[in-house]
Structure 1
Amino acid sequence: MTDTDLPPKTSRRQLFEHARTVAEQSDQYALTLESLLAILRSDRLDDRGARTIAIDAAAAALVGLRMATDEQRSAMLEPVVGAFARLQSDLRPLVRFSDLEVQFVEPPATGRALPGEVAYAARAIVRSAVLALVDQGETRRVRIQWDCDGLNLLIGIRDDGDGVLTGHDDSLRPMVERVAALDGEMQVTSTPGWGSNLDIRLPLDPPTAPEPLVDVVPLSLREREVLKLVASGARNREIAGQLGISENTVKFHVSNLLRKAGAQSRAELIVLSAAR
Structure 2
Amino acid sequence: MNLSSQVPPHSDQLKVEFPLEHVLLLTLNRPDRLNAVSRQLNSDLTSVLRWFDEEPRLWIVVITGQGRAFCAGADLNVWQQDQMQGRITEQESVASSLHGFAAISRRHTSYKPIIAAVNGSAYGGGVELVLNCDVVIASEDAVFALPEVKRGVLAVQGVIPRLAKAAGHQLASEMLLLGNPVSAVQARDRFRFVNAVVEPSNVLSTALDVARQITLNSPDSVQSTKEGLMLAQKHHFEEAVRTHSLSLVSKRLYNGENVKEGLAAFVEKRRPTWRNPSKL
TM-score after normalising by structure 2? 0.26
Q: Which has the higher contact order (CA 8 A, sep 6+)?
A: 2
> Which structure's residues are more often helix, by fraction?
1
TM-score after normalising by structure 1? 0.26
**Higher Cα radius of gyration:** 1
